[in-house]
Amino acid sequence: MLRLEKRPQPSRAWIWATPLLAVALTMIAGGVLFALLGKDPLAAIRMIFWDPLFSPQYASYSRPQLLVKAAPLILIAVGLAIGFRANIWNIGAEGQYIIGALFAASVALIFFPSGPADVRIFGRVLFSYDVAPARWWLFPAMILAGALGGLLWGLIPAILKTRFNTNEILVSLLLVYVAEKLLAAAAVSWLRNPTGAGFPGSRNLSQFAEAANHELIANTGMHWGVVAAFIAVIFGYVLLQRHMLGFHVRLAGQAPRAARFAGVAPARLVLFCLGISGLLAGLAGMFEVAGPARMISIDFNTGYGFTAIIVAFLGRLHPVGIVLAGLLMALTYIGGELAQFRLGLPSAAIQVFQGMLLFFLLALDMLSNYRIRLAWKEAAP
Amino acid sequence: MKRRQLLAGTALALGLASALGTVALADDPLQVGFIYIGPVGDHGWTYTHDQARLAVEEHFGDAVSTTYVESVPYGADAERVMSQMILSGVDMVFATSFGYGPDVNAVAGRFPDVAFEHATGYIQEHPNVSLYNARFYEGRAVIGHIAGRMTETNTVGYIASFPIPEVVMGINSAYLHARAVNPDVNFRVVWVYSWYDPAQEAAAAEALIEQGADILMQHTDSTAPVTVAQDRGILAFGQASDMTAFAPESHLTAILDEWAPYYIERIQARLDGTWEAGNVWHGIGDGMVGFAPLNERIPADVREEAEGMIEAIAAGEYHPFTGPINRQDGTPWLEEGETAPDGDLLGMGFYVEGMTGDVPN
């Protein structure tokens, strides 16, 4: 007979072994799934995990793309992890990501040079001038706007929780749908590209030099969002491991009563956790809209805010773990696309595959909290 | 010794060359890649493109091989998928949603030897980017006529996606032709701000029925509205593909997206080496817009009128936007006998006279 025995403390070894084991189990179960779909499981697994990194045909293109795909995931997940550590559940990073992008794009487009203008007197051109002097401060202003947008959207569930004791899980999640409607409205009205033939979507920010978030070094995938993600990881590490506030966060999560005795103000902690995760999600939206996504469109948000929840847990709510988890998740996206058009796997199969990763991880978490004992004899009743 | 080395060297070089795929064989199939915005099983927009892809495979046999990725978001993801397809040997890309425009052009600039076909777009920054679109308003004219003749409550419900010219032009076309045969007809429009959201589309359908609509039209992709119509015992028109199976009694017909003839023509041109970038807007006459079988419930005279209208539009004898037509505010848009210029239609942001409500802004 197998028997579960609660460990007095979670096993440190298992905490770090379970993600690896979850990846291995996902590969096995995914392989079975692919085989059932009539595809060669080994080829599919190799295409997802190996080819984007090492195949001479794709690697030089795919490796930089890993950074592009992982950066927003890592940036958002670091913020979420801080809250999750304190048992404060921001499920609405997707909405904060959207609002950050909307704020940033709005700032950029206010200053869009709409071409040289003429100053006329009595119909005759007196002189022409260009309304676009180089504005070095525009990009930093967009960063601030993106952070502010995400922060404000994150603070709504925080204030409602501290004031009216609403559930931040529900409020932050529902605000995603509000943000999506705002995004759609912006794309078809106030941010719509005036030269876009009436189509929804804003101007192309990649064609607006001062606002564009281009690659910093060509063909490396490095853009400012990647830099920001690394800074956020360091910030998150220092905060959680080295700072008093981080200690309070962890204490509040593990022992709320003890935290209260230690002088942790729960309301301030809620505001901080939801605010910081909103801010980072807003930043991710800003770097995305000015960089890889190029513009606001109706479907600008592609699920980074939700996928980042998986990344945060897969990375054990630890900033360094999140970097690895973000890169792994990005790999399954990029390799998953290869498997789709090379082997004809449906995109749903790739999504199931990604979902398995979280499923196995959560299931295996039992091993870090419980010990499995073999009991040969039933205890006498 | 030397000779053997030479031979070995040659063999190695040959092996390498073929391994890297640099030795082009005459009977290598042309590889064509498709990227879709939705799932191939949506029974709407993406489904029709994928049906056309299958028709391409059927038509060309071994001469062409196709591949696709579904549910590709706009932006970096689309750019990456297209780039990886091309790196794997794809020589022609069909990008089947308007939002791929900036991505298609970015990739086209980097791969000038690859042919790009972009559906419903408007950006052509490179000589290897071709655009194609369908005149769906021609189909809307026909269903507007049928609706005008068949509504008993004089209320037609319209489930619209986004307030953009493509959708506004469809509403106007349907309304003008319903009003032409039924001056009392009234259109109620619900904007769901999505192309594909079965739950919202169903809710919109219910709301429209509550407001008295006995015929539904949709400019969204799911089968939810026709299913609701079937459950509630009213009539409806499908979208993009034949949705009869989802509402056998209620489904009067559907405007079909027929991409296969165009895809076959363009891929043939690519095979022949005559492919050049173009910009086409095809209608019923070119075979890009079609109709699902007309339901038995449509009275014989209405059916005849509809078929006559389809023929006239196909033959170019009738343009659905023929003046006199005024704007909603009463100002004249088209003079007597004047037909709408394409530019007006592609930028259409207003309702025609008689429509109630506003185009959201």
**A279 has pLDDT over 70:** yes
- Residue A290's closest chain B neighbor by CA? B75
Q: How far apart are the C-alpha atoms of A133 and A124, rounded to whole Å? A: 24
Largest Cα separation within chain B, whole Å, is 97
Q: CB of A174 within 8 Å of any CB in chain B? A: no
pLDDT higher than 70, residue A343: yes
Considering the domain boundaries, does residue B339 fall inside one? Answer: yes
> Are B217 and B73 members of one domain?
no
Q: What is the mean pLDDT of residues B98-117?
A: 94
Residue A378 confidence class, pLDDT cut points 50, 70, 90: low
Q: What percent of chain A has pLDDT over 90?
A: 58
Q: Which helix (H) or strand (E) holds B75?
A: none
Tell whether B346 lies on the interface with A, counting CB pairs under 8 A. yes
Rounded to a whole number of angstroms, the distance from the CA of B178 to the nearest CA of chain A is 26
Nearest to A14 by CA among A373, A310, A361: A361
Q: How far apart are CA A13 and CA B273, in angstroms?
A: 62
What's phi and psi for A265, nearest 5 deg?
Answer: -85, 110
- Whether A69 sits inside 8 A of B193 (CB atoms) is no
Residue B1 has pLDDT above 80, yes or no: no
Please provide the DSSP assignment of B4-67 as one string.
Answer: HHHHHHHHHHHHHHHHHT-S--TTPPEEEEEE-SS-TTSSSHHHHHHHHHHHHHHHHGGGEEEE
How far is the CA of B239 from the CAs of A17, B107, B292, in angstroms? 51, 31, 10
Task: Provide the pLDDT confidence category of residue B188 given band limits of 50, 70 and 90.
Answer: very high
Domain assignment of residue B16, yes or no: no
What DSSP character marks residue B246? G
List all residues 6 or more positions away from A280 whose beta carbon is below 8 Å from its beta carbon: A75, A76, A78, A79, A150, A232
The whole-angstrom separation of Cα A310 and Cα A356 is: 11
| B118 and B154, same domain (yes or no) | no
Mean pLDDT of chain A: 88
**Order of strands, edge to edge, in the sheet holding B235-240?**
B186-191, B155-160, B215-218, B235-240, B251-257, B289-291
Nearest CB to B69: which of A199, A288, A340?
A340
Q: Does B19 touch chain A (CB under 8 A)?
A: no
Which is it for the CA torsion A69, A72, A76, A81, positive or negative? positive
Q: Which two tokens stand for residue A152?
A: 């404000």
Instruction: Give the model's confidence band at B337: pLDDT under 50 very low, under 70 low, under 90 confident, else very high.
Output: very high
- Do B76 and A298 make contact, defined as CB atoms within 8 angstroms? no
Per-residue pLDDT band for B12 (boundaries 50, 70, 90) equals very low
**B338 pLDDT higher than 80:** yes
Position B3 scores a pLDDT of: 45
Measuring CA to CA, how many Å separate B331 from each of A5, A194, B271, B325?
81, 24, 51, 9
pLDDT band at B4 (very low <50, low <70, confident <90, very high): very low
pTM of the model: 0.86
- Model confidence at A13, pLDDT cuts 50, 70, 90, reads confident
Highest mean pLDDT among A108-122, B26-40, B273-287: B273-287
Which member of A68, A338, A341 has the closest CB to residue B33? A341
pLDDT for residue B189 is more than 90 = yes
Q: What is the SS3 assignment for B207? A: helix
- Residue B207 belongs to some domain of the structure: yes
Which of A1-15, B123-137, B279-293 comes out lowest in average pLDDT?
Answer: A1-15
What was the pLDDT predicted at A67? 94
Residue of chain A nearest B193, judged by CA positions: A184
Looking at chain A, which residue has its C-alpha nearest residue B88? A57
CB B190 within 8 A of CB B249: no
Residue A119: which pLDDT band, with cuts at 50, 70 and 90? low
Among residues 190-249 of chain A, which lie with CB inside 8 Å of chain B?
196-201, 204, 206
Instruction: pLDDT band for A213, please (50, 70, 90 cuts).
Output: confident
- Tell me which residue range forms the domain holding B64: 28-134
Closest approach of B33 to chain A, Cα-based (Å): 8
Q: For the domain that residue B99 is a member of, what is the CATH number?
A: 3.40.50.2300
Q: How many CB pairs under 8 A join A and B?
A: 105
Q: Per-residue pLDDT for A123 more than 70?
A: no
Q: Are residues B221 and B88 in the same domain?
A: no
The alpha carbon of residue A146 is apart from the nearest alpha carbon of chain B, in Å, by: 19
Same domain, B53 and B144: no
The interaxial angle of helices A41-49 and A319-343, nearest 10 deg, is 130
pLDDT confidence bin for B285, thresholds 50/70/90: very high
The C-alpha atoms of residue A36 and residue B145 are separated, in whole angstroms, by: 49
pLDDT at A21 over 70: yes
Whether residue B7 lies inside any domain: the answer is no
**Mean pLDDT, residues B238-246:** 93
Query: Which CATH number, 1.10.10, 1.20.120, 2.60.120, 1.10.3470, labels domain A40-344?
Result: 1.10.3470
Rounded to 5 degrees, φ, ψ at B190 are: -115, 125
Domain co-membership, B314 together with B184? yes
Contact A51, A335 (CB under 8 A): yes
- Residue A79's nearest CA partner among A364, A329, A326 is A326
Pairing of strands B186-191, B155-160: parallel
B265 within a domain of the structure (yes/no): no
Same domain assignment for residues B246 and B164: yes
Structure tokens at A49: 């995990």
Rounded CA-CA distance A82/A318 in Å is 9
| CA atoms in the 13 A half-sphere facing the CB of B161 | 21
User: B19-41: per-residue pLDDT in tens?
Assistant: 444 444 446 899 999 999 988 98
Residue A131 CB partners (closer than 8 Å, separation 6+): A113, A114, A115, A116, A117
Asked if B163 and B96 sit in the same domain, the reply is no
A139 inside 8 A of chain B by CB: no
Q: Is A334 in contact with B122 (Cβ distance < 8 A)?
A: no
Q: Once rounded to an integer, what is the mean pLDDT over residues A354-374?
A: 83
B179 part of a folded domain: yes
Element (DSSP H or E) covering residue A58: none
Which residue is associated with the tokens 């392989």? Answer: A31
- Supply the pLDDT for residue B27: 65
Which class for A245: exposed (0-12), middle (13-18), buried (19 or more C-beta within 10 A)?
middle
Question: With the C-alpha atoms ordered A269, A275, A276, A277, is the resulting torsion angle positive or negative?
Answer: positive
Question: Residues A101-129: what's their mean pLDDT?
Answer: 73
Cα(B123)–Cα(B105) distance, integer angstroms: 7
Any alpha helices (H) in chain B, and if so which ranges?
Answer: 2-20, 45-60, 76-87, 101-110, 136-150, 165-181, 198-210, 224-232, 260-272, 300-314, 342-346
Top-confidence residue, B132 or A213? B132
Query: What are the residues whose beta carbons fall under 8 Å from the beta carbon of B317, sequence distance 6 or more?
Result: none
Yes or no, beta carbons of A181 and B83 under 8 Å apart:
no
User: Which residue from A65, A77, A53 is spatially nearest to A284, judged by alpha carbons?
Assistant: A77
B59 and B158 assigned to the same domain: no
The answer to whether B122 faces chain A, any CB pair under 8 Å, is yes
Q: What share of chain B is helix, strand, coil (3-state, %, to 5)?
A: 40, 20, 40
Per the structure, the count of domains in chain B is: 2
What are the φ/ψ torsions at residue B317 (nearest 5 degrees)? Answer: -80, -25
Residues A174-187 have pLDDT tens digits of 999 999 999 998 99
Q: How far is A302 from chain B (nearest CA, A)?
A: 7
B76 interfaces chain A, CB cutoff of 8 Å? yes
Cβ–Cβ contact A334 with B under 8 A: yes
Residue B8 included in any domain: no
A121 pLDDT band, cuts 50/70/90, is: low
- Length of chain A equals 381
- pLDDT tens digits for B206-224? 999 999 999 999 999 899 9
A307 interfaces chain B, CB cutoff of 8 Å: no
| Residue A344 touches partner B, C-beta closer than 8 Å | yes
Give phi and psi for B64, each to the nearest 5: -135, 135
Mean pLDDT over A152-166 rounds to: 96
CA distance A226 to A65: 11
Which strand (E) or helix (H) includes residue B335?
none
Same domain flag for B211 and B126: no
Buried b (16+ CB within 10 A) or exposed e, B202-215: bbbbeebbeeebbb
Q: Do B181 and B319 lie in a common domain?
A: yes
- Scan for tokens 């749903």, then name that residue: A348
pLDDT of B97 strictly over 70: yes
What is the separation of C-alpha A49 from the centre of its chain, rounded to a whole number of angstroms?
Answer: 21
Residues A38-63: what's their mean pLDDT?
A: 92
Q: Is A347:B39 a contact under the CB 8 Å cutoff?
A: yes
Instruction: Please identify, among B86, B105, B134, the residue that sits at the C-terminal boundary of a domain.
Output: B134
Domain regions of chain A by residue span: 40-344
B237 and B217 share one domain = yes
- Write the CA distances from B34 to A162, A224, A282, B132, integer angstroms: 50, 31, 33, 14
Pick the more confident residue, A110 or A49.
Answer: A49
Answer whether B102 sits within 8 Å of A69, measured CB to CB: no
| Helical (H) or strand (E) element with A128 | strand A124-130
What's the mean pLDDT when you consider all of chain B?
Answer: 91
Q: Which residues numbered 37-56 in A keep a CB inside 8 Å of some CB on B?
A: none
Is A364 a residue whose pLDDT tops 90? Answer: no
Across B187-192, average pLDDT: 95
B75 and A292 in contact by Cβ < 8 A? yes
pLDDT for A76 equals 98
Strand partners, A5: A371
CA–CA gap between residue B136 and residue B133 (Å, rounded): 9
Which of B134, B161, B185 is where one domain is finished? Answer: B134
Q: What is the pLDDT of residue A340?
A: 92
Chain A positions touching B79 (Cβ under 8 A) are 292
Q: Is it the case that residue A263 has pLDDT exceeding 60? A: yes
User: Does the residue B331 lie in any domain?
Assistant: yes
Out of B101, B134, B167, pick the residue that ends a domain: B134
What integer pLDDT is reported at residue A264 of this predicted model?
81
B198 with B323, same domain? yes
Look at A69 and B76 and tell me if their CB atoms are within 8 Å: yes
Residue B167 pLDDT level (bands cut at 50, 70, 90): very high
